[in-house]
Structure 1
């Protein structure tokens, strides 16, 4: 999967999903102590969520296919004195990372895949999520008007995890994804999924 189309999103200023800080839902999860152990931020973009979690003292790897976004993430980490790792990687082949994570964060990546890709992506997540670990998925929802692109139905979110197996979808709750075009956020799902 080439990163060029995604990389282009960062060439003329912030990408539509780059709000200059972490997503409020991620800040809330962090405040609740929901991140633990080594953390993977899949599709980290310019790193705001990864940096927020890393500032808590957790080891964080942010991966993306957009090299411009990763360069910005590294620069922010340096400017803020936060230790975090950022690398180019394909979310459909996470096994190539050769490591495991207790917590995985997906903020805005799941909904970019089509149905068949979602199965491959969930299998890829399984290859790096430790047993007993947790994946958090924040994605656009089809529940209300004013959603972002590629909204996902609740069953479209649950289905791939059930089909791949080895996962327990603990909760799928309504939330918001903030973008540069949605002042109060767009309708979203926040899923908590345990690796069993």
Structure 2
């Protein structure tokens, strides 16, 4: 995640790298269970882009499946950690310091885009730009899988916008088919252990 849940009473980070000055609670050292289940089901295919990849667990998960995997994030500190993990695991991946709101600037297309904890940071024009960018890098039939904090979550999570089903329907009303919106969770390394989330599956039309 390039920017993700933090308690509202915590000191606000000054920039992306500040989120990784110490291991953040969403960085659990392994893939989120919801995304791991998708991988085990064979739902993650082809060229994979992880938007807001953080320290790279989902990019590495895709690479371990033999997939061409790229992660983008603005946090250079997180990307250095991701590259160290890739070397330690002997996996071939690509990490790029890049603004996830502008994936089209990569000049590439992907079959699958993963988003764990990024969509819910954006609203307004930023959200519109992000979704438009996703649409530009996914060809017809491409899949987008998203984990975002949902409005079922009762805790306060700082800069995160708790996402409703209506928010998802509005954001992806043009050029997408919403395949499913399922209750899920983003696991944390600290109490309460997880945050309520939506697991969203969309297909580019």
* Unaligned runs of at least 5 residues, structure 2: 1-12
Task: Describe the shift of the 1:153–1:67 C-alpha distance in structure 2 as closer, same or farther (beyond 3 A).
Answer: same
Match of 2:119 among 89, 103, 110: 110
Higher RCO structure, 1 or 2 (CA under 8 Å, sep 6+): 2
Structure 1 residue 141 corresponds to structure 2 residue 182:
no
**1-side partners of 2:90 and 2:157: how far apart?**
33
Contact 2:153 2:197 in 1 (8 A): no
Deviation, 1:45, is: 0.1
Hey, what's the Cα distance between the residues in 2 that align with 1:103 and 1:192?
A: 11
Partner of 2:168: 157
Displaced runs of 4 or more, over 4 A: none
Number of corresponding residues: 191
Contact 1:146 1:187 in 2 (8 A): no
**TM-score normalised by structure 2 residue count:** 0.88
The answer as to 2:24 corresponding to 1:6 is: no
Q: Deviations over 1:71-130 (max 9, x none)?
A: 110110000111111001111111110110000000100001123311111001011112
Question: Which structure 1 segments of 5+ residues have no match?
Answer: none
Once superposed, what is the RMSD of the aligned Cα atoms? Answer: 1.6
CA–CA distance in structure 2, aligned partners of residues 147 and 39 of structure 1: 32
Q: 1 or 2, which has the higher strand percentage?
A: 1
- Please show how residues 14-163 of structure 1 align to structure 2 within 5 Å: 14-146=23-155, 148-149=157-158, 150=160, 151-162=162-173
Q: So what's the TM-score if we normalise by structure 1?
A: 0.92
Alignment partners' CA distance in 1, 2:32 and 2:23: 15
